[in-house]
Structure 1
Amino acid sequence: MKKRNLKLCFAASTGGHFEQLMMLKPLMEKYNSFVITEKTDYSVKIKDEKMYFLHQVNRKEALFIIKMIINAFISLAVFIKERPDIVICTGVLAMIPICLLSKIFGKKLIYIESFAKVTTPTETGKFLYKYADKFYVQWQTMLEVYPKATFLGGIY
C-alpha cells in the first residue's frame, strides 16, 4: 500500500540512467509516485507506475533547442497535473526542465550522478549541482568534483 503524504517524481533519460532509476523501485512502491522519461523505440512500461514521456534530446541535433522547449512545456503540464513534492533524477539532458520546475515551485530536487562517472561529471550534473537539495555521487572520487555531494556507494 502506497503512502499518500508525499508524491515523488522519478526522472531519467533512457538506457543506463533509467536502469539506475529502476534501482529505486522500492521507493516508487512505497510512495505515491510517477515516472518521466524519454520516448524511444524501446521505451519500457513499468507495471503499476504512472509514466510520462518526453522527446529524446541530443544537444548535437539541429532541433535541440526546439525539442528542449517542447519538453519544458510537457514537463510543466506534468508538474501542474501531478504536483510532486520531490523530484529524484538520475539524468540527463531531457530531464533538466522537470528538475528546474521543482525549484521554481519550491519543491525538493534530489540528483544522483551517473554510476558510469568515476572521475568526471556529466554536463547535466554540473548544471544541476547548484540547484539540487541533495546531490549524490556513486564513487568517492567524485567528491573531488562535487565537494558538497553525498557519497553512499553505488546504486547497484
Structure 2
Amino acid sequence: MKLLLISSSGGHFNALCQLTSFWQNHDRQWVTFPTATTRNYLAQEEVHWAFGPTNRNLPNLCRNLGLAVRIIYQERPDMVITTGAGVAVPFLLFAKLLGIKTIFIESFTRVNDLSLSAKLILPCIDVLYVQWKQLQQRYPQAKLIEVLAQ
C-alpha cells in the first residue's frame, strides 16, 4: 500500500511519528515543513517540503494546492493520512477528487471541538478519528481512538 503522510511540524508531526507501527512496512512519502526535527527524523525518507506558514495564508494555500496536485497525480497513493494542520487541506481535497482514501486523525488537544482544518475538510474525509468521547458525541461520524481516549 502506498501512503502519503501529511502533517505540520511540531506536535502534529510527533503524533504521526507515533503511528510508526502502522506505516513503517508500507511504501510511503511525507509532506511536512522543513525544520531541524523533520529533516533529522526524515533523513532516510522520501519527503516533499510544504510551504509555510499555512495559517490563513492564501498564497501558501495556493502553493500547497499545486504541490498536492503534482504529488498526488504523479504518485497515486492508496491512502492519505494526516494529523493536521492546515497543510493537509489541499492534499485531502485533491485526494478525495481522485477517489483516494483520506484519513484525518484529530489532535489529542482537541477535546470539545474540531480544529479549523478538520472542519474545513470534513466533507472530504473518509475516516475522521478523534481521541475524546465528548468530541465523538459532537461529531457522530467520527471514530474514537480508544487507546488514547480519556
Instruction: State TM-score, norm by structure 2.
Output: 0.89
Q: What's the offset of the Cα at 1:27? A: 2.3
The gaps in structure 2 that reach 5 residues or longer are none
1:53 aligns with 2:16: no
Q: What's the offset of the Cα at 1:39? A: 2.7
Q: What's the offset of the Cα at 1:92? A: 0.7
Query: Could you tell me which residue of structure 1 aligns to residue 136 of structure 2?
Result: 143
Query: Could you tell me which residue of structure 2 aligns to residue 33 of structure 1?
Result: 28
After TM superposition, the structure 1 stretch with the greater mean CA deviation from structure 2, 27-36 or 40-49, is 40-49
Amino acid at match of 1:46: L
The match for 2:66 among 59, 73, 80 is: 73
1:83 aligns with 2:79: no
Deviations 1:130-153 (A, max 9, x none): 211111001111112311100023
The gaps in structure 1 that reach 5 residues or longer are 1-5
CA distance, structure 2, for counterparts of residue 36 and residue 27 of structure 1? 17
Q: What's the offset of the Cα at 1:128? A: 2.0
Amino acid at match of 2:74: K
**Contact 1:57 1:68 survives alignment (8 Å):** no
SS at match of 1:144: helix
After TM superposition, the structure 1 stretch with the greater mean CA deviation from structure 2, 41-50 or 24-33, is 41-50
SS at match of 2:139: coil
CA distance, structure 1, for counterparts of residue 107 and residue 138 of structure 2? 13
State percent identity of aligned pairs.
28
SS at match of 1:90: strand
CA distance, structure 1, for counterparts of residue 84 and residue 127 of structure 2? 14
**Contact 2:79 2:100 survives alignment (8 Å):** yes
Instruction: State TM-score, norm by structure 1.
Output: 0.86
Query: Could you tell me which residue of structure 2 aligns to residue 3 of structure 1?
Result: none
CA distance, structure 2, for counterparts of residue 41 and residue 70 of structure 1? 22
